[in-house]
């Protein structure tokens, strides 16, 4: 642990930065700010418009794309500035994360502070970070052609990759902090793995719900009653039955609701199967944390739905999902040989 202390700090700092980026990304999505910057400039785009002329030029560029033409044609310059801020902040944090991962990695590499397995894992992290940046650009691009919104598939890929990059960063840090390996109950480990997979699938469908604004309909629980879509144009298309569960607002919300029950059931089963076992303190804490967080996440999901996705509840729901994935990652690590 002592030899790896600064490497662990580096990885955990990256985890914190990814968390902040996900939070800001959630706010960006919920405030419909993601298409406010239509041109991608890796270096010069770090600074926002610095004077009135630059703001007017940015606004004129925004006017050329579908979101302004079909939804926000009533916007004035001040309205544009309010949505520009969140997307700009989101992109700046993304650039900072790149620096946080790349620069210390090179320093540790030159100073020979990384063993061969950690170098390989770090290269995977760098690839995931670069791929995440590409997906962000690819997602925004989908909203600059015909419809005033991004593809919910690309949004899901962008968000899920962020979650998985965080989870893998945490896993590598845990490998260094807790290098001890011991024999474990493989049936419990496999149960946690299955729960983990369903949690990731649930996160993907949560992104589908966000991308399709499916949280603004059926704002009742436990039954799905008729609801009214707010703030967005409704696109109704004839499509095969299966597509309703990946592209239809009602179908996507249905899957997200019932996957939540499944995730809760798996976590309860993990708790039940381990409650009479001899566990280490860390294993016990891991199981307790996922029980508490899955209950909080379920409650936040219900409240977010009932109140039709107010900003603070939508962000809180996403933050809790992040914490739940972190707790599940920690628990799985402690039950892995």
SS (H, E, C) the chain: CCCCHHHHHHHHHHHHHHHHHHHHHHHHHHCCCCCCCCCCCCCHHHCCCCCHHHHHHHHHHHCCCHHHHHHCCCCCHHHHHHHHHHHHHHHHHHHHHHHHHHHHHHHHHHCCCCCHHHHHHHHHHHHHHHHHHHHHHHHHHCCCCCCCCCCHHHHHHHHHHHHHHHHHHHHHHHHHHCCCCCCCCHHHHHHHHHHHHHHHHHHHHHHHHHHHCHHHCCCCCCCCCCCCCCCCCCCCCCCCCHHHHCCCHHHHHHHHHHHHHHHHHHHHHHHHHHCCCCCCHHHHHHHHHHHHHHHHHHHHHHHHHHCCCCHHHHHHHHHHHHHHHHHHHHHHHHCCC
* pLDDT tens readout for residues 111-168: 999 999 999 999 999 999 999 989 988 998 888 888 778 899 999 999 999 999 999 9
Average pLDDT over residues 267-275: 96
Query: Closest Cα to residue 258, out of 313, 318, 211, 218?
Result: 218
Residues 7, 10, 12, 13, Cα dihedral to 10°: 170
Half-sphere exposure of 200 (CA within 13 A, CB side): 16
Return d(Cα 207, Cα 336) in angstroms, integer: 29
The pLDDT of residue 190 is 94
Higher pLDDT, 25 or 228: 25
Judged by phi (left if over 0) then psi (alpha if -120 to 50, else beta), residue 280 lies in beta
pLDDT digits (tens, 9 = 90+) for 188-228: 999 999 999 999 999 999 999 999 999 999 898 988 875 44
Evaluate if residue 44 carries a pLDDT over 70: no
pLDDT given for residue 3 in this prediction: 64
Return d(Cα 184, Cα 197) in angstroms, integer.
20
Residue 305 has pLDDT above 80, yes or no: yes
The answer to whether the CB of 99 falls within 8 A of the CB of 110 is no
- Look at residue 170 in the predicted model and tell me its pLDDT: 97
- What CA–CA distance (Å, rounded) separates 180 from 169? 18
Residue count of the chain, please give it. Answer: 337
Ramachandran angles phi, psi of 76, nearest 5°: -105, -175
> Would the pLDDT of 231 be above 60?
no
**310 near 326, Cβ under 8 Å?**
no
**Taking the mean position of all CA atoms in its chain, how far away is CA 307?**
22
Contacts made by residues 233-236, CB under 8 angstroms, sequence distance 24+: 233/70, 233/71, 233/148, 235/147
Give the model's pLDDT for residue 236.
43
Q: Where are the domains of the chain?
A: 1-179, 183-337
Question: Given a cut of 50, is residue 229 above it in pLDDT?
Answer: no
Select from 9, 10, 1 the least CA-distant residue to 102.
10
Closest listed residue to residue 227, CA positions, set 309, 330, 153: 309
Rounded average pLDDT over 28-55: 83
């Amino acid at each position: 642990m002592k030899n790896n202390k600064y490497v662990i700090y580096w990885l955990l700092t990256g985890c914190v930065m990814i968390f902040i980026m996900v939070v800001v990304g959630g706010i960006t999505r919920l405030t419909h700010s993601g298409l406010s910057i239509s041109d991608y400039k890796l270096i010069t785009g770090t600074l926002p418009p610095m004077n009135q002329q630059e703001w007017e030029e940015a606004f004129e560029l925004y006017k050329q794309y579908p979101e302004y033409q079909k939804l926000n044609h009533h916007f004035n310059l001040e309205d544009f500035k309010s949505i520009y801020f969140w997307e700009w902040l989101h992109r700046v944090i993304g650039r900072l994360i790149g620096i946080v991962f790349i620069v210390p990695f090179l320093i540790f590499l030159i100073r020979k502070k990384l063993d061969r397995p950690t170098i390989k894992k770090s290269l995977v992290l760098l690839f995931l970070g670069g791929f995440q940046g590409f997906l962000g650009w690819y997602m925004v691009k989908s909203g600059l052609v015909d419809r005033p919104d991004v593809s919910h598939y690309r949004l899901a890929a962008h968000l899920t990759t962020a979650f998985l990059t965080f989870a893998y960063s945490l896993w590598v840090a845990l490998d260094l902090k807790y290098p001890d390996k011991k024999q474990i109950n493989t049936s419990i480990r496999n149960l946690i793995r299955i729960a983990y997979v369903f949690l990731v699938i649930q996160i993907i469908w949560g992104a589908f719900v966000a991308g399709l604004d499916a949280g603004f309909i059926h704002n009742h629980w436990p039954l799905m009653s008729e609801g009214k879509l707010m703030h967005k144009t409704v696109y109704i298309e004839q499509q095969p039955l299966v597509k309703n569960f990946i592209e239809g607002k009602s179908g996507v919300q249905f899957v997200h609701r019932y996957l939540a029950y499944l995730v809760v059931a798996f976590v309860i089963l993990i708790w039940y199967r381990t409650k009479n076992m001899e566990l280490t303190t860390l294993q016990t804490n891991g199981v307790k944390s996922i029980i508490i967080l899955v209950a909080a996440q379920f409650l936040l999901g219900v409240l977010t739905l009932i109140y039709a996705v107010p900003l603070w509840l939508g962000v809180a729901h996403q933050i809790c999902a992040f914490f739940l994935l972190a707790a599940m990652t920690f628990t799985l690590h402690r039950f892995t040989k």
